[in-house]
Amino acid sequence: MDNRPIGVFDSGLGGLTAVKKLKEVLPGEDIVYFGDTGRVPYGGRSRETIIRYTQQDIAFLLSMDIKAIIVACGTATTNALDYVKDSCPVPIYGVADPAAKRAAEITKNKKVGLIGTEASIRSGAYERLICRYDSDIEMTGVGCPLIVPMVEEGRISRDDKILYHTVEEYLTPLKEKGVDTLIMGCTHYPIISDVIGDIMGEGVALIDPGAEAAKLMKEELAALELLNDQERQALSVYYVSDVVYEFTKTASIFLGENVDDITIRIDIEHY
């Protein structure tokens, strides 16, 4: 048993997709979330910068005495996880491996699409991972740099025409390719999964990497005997590196609960 919280981080709002699933599959676990809203997006930055930001994000979470970490950012996972995982003193899980595994399990025509940040697509990490599960799968990746800023701006409505047309332009080559499975390889994208689903159509399965990582976390904590056995209601607290309001208004809509009073600003450069 270990009653310390689980740490989750992302460059901004995207990691809330993992938080939402964690609350469902592990309702007794406390969560400490960090969204690096002062430095989002990570996806257009160099690998060196993404590694440095990831190290600082992990250092902050460790200062909160957490028992395990989900790197709930596709970009940090694909560019920095291999570099930081050996020195991390608590179990740490990324979002790419469980998502690649799930995609390999469910594709029927072995054509898998991947959307992600430029840094994630450039890393080639998803191709390497999926190949380990099924080397016959053909993966087609598309970088979608405009989606993260739009989601961070709160443009998440299914009726938002600018969002729809932007996403449609990115997804058209994947539709033409005939993929039957689409990995939403940046954790911001499942926040607009209804828009992505409308465009791809019912026949295409959408993979949510944050949710897959949350399910993996449940299995791993059980195997390591690190689950929480406390009786009281679980607590979540959210930390951000810039103005709180910009984060809380969209986070509250996505999570379906008001997070105004449990969101705190910190100085990430301090870590």
Active site amino acids: 73, 186
- Considering only 187, 236, 250, 263, the residue that binds ligand DGL (CB under 6 A) is 187
Give me the least distance between CB of 44 and ligand DGL, in Å please. Answer: 7
Distance linking the first and last C-alpha atoms of the chain? 29
Residue 200 near residue 174 (C-beta atoms within 8 A):
yes
In the chain, what is the greatest distance between 2 CA atoms, to the nearest angstrom?
52
Q: Does 113 help bind ligand DGL (rule: CB under 6 A)?
A: no
Tell me, by CB under 6 A, how many residues bind ligand DGL.
Answer: 16
Strand partners, 184: 115
User: Which of 7, 43, 98, 113 forms a contact with ligand DGL (CB under 6 A)?
Assistant: 43
The set of residues, in sequence order, having a beta carbon less than 8 Å from that of 77 and lying 6+ positions away, is 71, 94, 95, 96, 120, 125
Angle, alpha carbons 37-101-133 (nearest 5°): 135
The Cα–Cα gap between 165 and 171 comes to: 10
Comparison of 119 and 137: residue with beta carbon closer to ligand DGL: 119
Task: Kindly tell me which of 117 and 228 has the beta carbon lying closer to ligand DGL.
Answer: 117
Q: Does 250 bind ligand DGL (CB under 6 A)?
A: no
Interface with ligand DGL, residue 120, by CB under 6 A: yes
Which residues does residue 205 pair with via DSSP β-bridges, in sequence order? 181
User: Is residue 10 involved in binding ligand DGL (CB under 6 A)?
Assistant: yes
The answer to whether residues 31 and 93 touch, using CB atoms and an 8 Å cutoff, is: no
The answer to the question of residue 115 lying near ligand DGL (CB under 6 A) is no
Instruction: Please report whether residue 143 would count as binding ligand DGL according to CB under 6 A.
Output: no
Beta strands at 31-35 and 68-71: parallel, antiparallel or unpaired: unpaired
Q: Kindly state whether residue 94 participates in binding ligand DGL, applying the rule CB under 6 A.
A: no
Q: Where in 51-80 is the site for ligand DGL (CB under 6 A)?
A: 73-75
Binds ligand DGL by CB under 6 A, chosen from 11, 107, 250, 263: 11
- Asked if residue 24 lies in contact with residue 85, where contact means CB atoms within 8 angstroms, the answer is no
37 binds ligand DGL (CB under 6 A): no
Binding site for ligand DGL (CB under 6 A): 10-11, 14, 40-43, 73-75, 117, 120, 148, 186-188
